[in-house]
């Protein structure tokens, strides 16, 4: 308990030096899946593969609505540093032509070109951020595909920030606490030196609540559901019209779909 | 040997001085101070027995942390058959309502600085 991240790193460094010639293996005490686990008060929302569909047209029609961002950042204690250099983002808007730079046609519809499109972590099926994380602080949950983060373990190496092709991850360069206008006591803050991103509201799903952004969107532009369930809302939306994903050629298999 | 008497006397005085806190404590019992922790008023069962909690709460919290974050196992049923959430802020501080008068009193006395509160928010923390 008394060893913080910094001290841990120092000790780890010294240990590595000391045993440079040998190999040290540390058996981590892993707790076997717990059989005493009981059901939570309201049944959790579960899926085989969570996915989101963003209806760009509805978002476009809503003008400069930022309800999703505000709701998400409030419930997750996302700080506002007031400058783009230190900015922490979970879900935010980017102009269409930047979000889909690889889909740009010469005569793209004017209204679409500069329209703000909500972007967030795509919870990729093949997430490069997970592959590079040296500490296992970020991983893909096998049960439902959510790309999770364990802020207790993140050492702030920022490999994942470099690996994510979508800029979905933000690094805490400074202590975020003083920059949170209204603390949400139910959710932790982060500390300096930790990376953060959208977690598909896994803490809300576990309590049977929908995503904060989906709940906040009055224009019903965001839909969340199980991609493996043919009767789900997301599948219906994907069936009925054309949807694109960000930078599909990279093979990351994003699970946020954009309906045009 | 010169000054044997002086040296021995000096050593005795030195020993007396450095062990003074022990003598003082024996005489007055004052240095044997242990912090008073605020107990919850309504006597409910803790998630484990008190002796275990006093010695190992940090281990339990580490296990809980991994179970919740890594395995998504947020709830457990205690030996008393009660279902509880594995949560520092909801479950522990749900009973021990004051971090200052429970956690901090002992931690300050022991000189431990847990970093739980760098991120987790204690109930009474004044909201800016
Ligand atoms: S969008 Fe980025 S952070 Fe999210 S899973 Fe994909 S690579 Fe990782
Ligand atoms: S910054 Fe944290 S989450 Fe990202 S790769 Fe490094 S340890 Fe993993």
pLDDT at A105: 75
Q: Identify whether the C-beta of residue A196 lies closer than 8 Å to the C-beta of residue A90.
A: yes
Contacts of A258 (CB under 8 A, 6+ apart): A53, A54, A56, A99, A100, A117, A243, A244, A245, A246
CB environment A70-97: b (16+ within 10 A), e (fewer): ebbbbbbbbbeeeeeebebbbbbbbebe
What is the per-residue pLDDT across A204-234, written as a single tens digit (0 to 9) for each? 999 999 999 999 999 999 999 999 999 999 9
Q: Per the CB < 8 Å rule, is B121 touching A2?
A: no
Q: Is the pLDDT of residue A31 over 80?
A: no
pLDDT (0 to 100) of residue A70: 96
What was the pLDDT predicted at B127? 46
* Model pLDDT, residue A35: 38
B126 contacts in A (CB within 8 Å)? none
CA B67 – CA A42 distance, rounded (Å): 19
B87-99: per-residue pLDDT in tens? 998 888 888 888 8
Element (H, E) at B20: helix B20-28
Quote ipTM for the complex: 0.76
Question: Which residues of chain A neighbour B58 with C-beta distances below 8 Å?
Answer: 1
- Nearest-Cα distance to chain A for B75, in Å, is 5
* Statement: residue A33 has pLDDT above 50: no
Name residues whose C-beta falls within 8 Å of residue A16's C-beta, 6 or more positions apart in sequence: none
Q: Is the pLDDT of residue A36 over 50?
A: no
Mean residue pLDDT across chain A: 88
> Which two tokens mark A108?
């793209």
DSSP state of A165: T
Whether residue B98 lies within 8 A of chain A, CB to CB, comes out as no
Q: Which residues of chain B have pLDDT under 50?
A: 125-128
DSSP state of A102: G
Q: Residue of the nearest CA to atom 7 in ligand 2?
A: A154
pLDDT value at residue A16: 64
The DSSP code for A179 is G
Mean pLDDT of A102-126: 87
Q: Which residues of A touch B (CB under 8 A)?
A: 1-2, 4, 30-31, 33-34, 36-40, 141, 143, 148, 150-152, 178, 181-191, 202, 206
Take residue A207 and report the two structure tokens written for it: 């309590």
B84: part of which helix (H) or strand (E)? strand B83-85
Nearest-CB residue to B67 (from A1, A34, A151): A34
Q: Tell me what the mean pLDDT of segment A98-111 comes to.
A: 82
User: Per DSSP, what are the bridge partners of residue A258?
Assistant: A54, A244
- Residue A135 Cβ inside 6 Å of ligand 2? The answer reads yes
Q: Residue B79: which residues within 8 A CB-CB, separation 6 or more?
A: none
Tens digit of pLDDT for each residue in A127-186? 999 999 999 999 999 999 999 999 999 999 999 999 999 999 999 999 999 999 999 988
């Amino acid at each position: 308990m008394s060893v913080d991240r910094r001290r841990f790193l120092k000790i780890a460094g010294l240990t590595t030096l000391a045993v440079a010639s040998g190999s040290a293996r540390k058996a981590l005490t892993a707790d076997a899946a717990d059989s005493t686990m009981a059901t939570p008060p309201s049944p959790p929302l579960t899926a085989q593969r969570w996915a989101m569909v963003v209806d760009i047209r509805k978002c476009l029609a809503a003008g400069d609505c930022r309800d999703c961002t505000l709701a998400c950042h409030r419930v997750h204690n996302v700080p506002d540093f007031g400058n783009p250099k230190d900015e922490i983002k979970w879900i935010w808007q980017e102009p269409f032509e930047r979000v889909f730079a690889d889909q740009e046609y010469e005569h793209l519809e004017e209204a679409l070109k500069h329209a703000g499109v909500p972007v967030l972590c795509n919870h990729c099926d093949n997430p490069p951020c997970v592959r590079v994380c040296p500490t296992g602080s970020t991983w893909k949950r096998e049960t439902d595909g959510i790309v999770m983060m364990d802020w207790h373990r993140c050492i702030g190496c920022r490999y994942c920030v470099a690996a994510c092709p979508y800029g979905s991850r933000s690094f805490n360069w400074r202590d975020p606490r003083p920059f949170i206008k209204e603390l949400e006591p139910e959710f932790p803050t982060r500390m300096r030196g930790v990376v953060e991103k959208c977690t598909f509201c896994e803490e809300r799903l576990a309590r049977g609540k929908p995503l904060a952004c989906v709940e906040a969107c009055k224009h019903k532009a965001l839909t969340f559901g199980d991609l493996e369930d043919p009767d789900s809302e997301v599948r219906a939306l994907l069936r009925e019209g054309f949807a694109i994903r960000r930078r599909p050629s990279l093979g990351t298999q994003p699970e946020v779909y954009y309906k045009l | 040997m010169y000054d044997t008497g002086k040296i021995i006397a000096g050593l005795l005085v030195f020993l007396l001085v450095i062990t003074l806190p022990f003598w003082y404590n024996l005489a007055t019992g004052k240095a044997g101070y242990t912090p008073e922790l605020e107990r919850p008023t309504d006597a409910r069962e803790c998630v484990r027995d008190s002796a275990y909690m006093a010695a190992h709460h940090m281990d339990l919290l580490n296990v809980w942390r991994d179970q919740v974050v890594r395995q998504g196992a947020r709830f457990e049923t205690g030996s008393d058959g009660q279902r509880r959430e594995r949560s520092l802020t909801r479950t522990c501080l749900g009973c021990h309502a004051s971090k200052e008068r429970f956690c901090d009193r002992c931690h300050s006395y022991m000189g431990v600085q847990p970093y739980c509160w760098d991120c987790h928010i204690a109930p009474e923390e004044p909201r800016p």
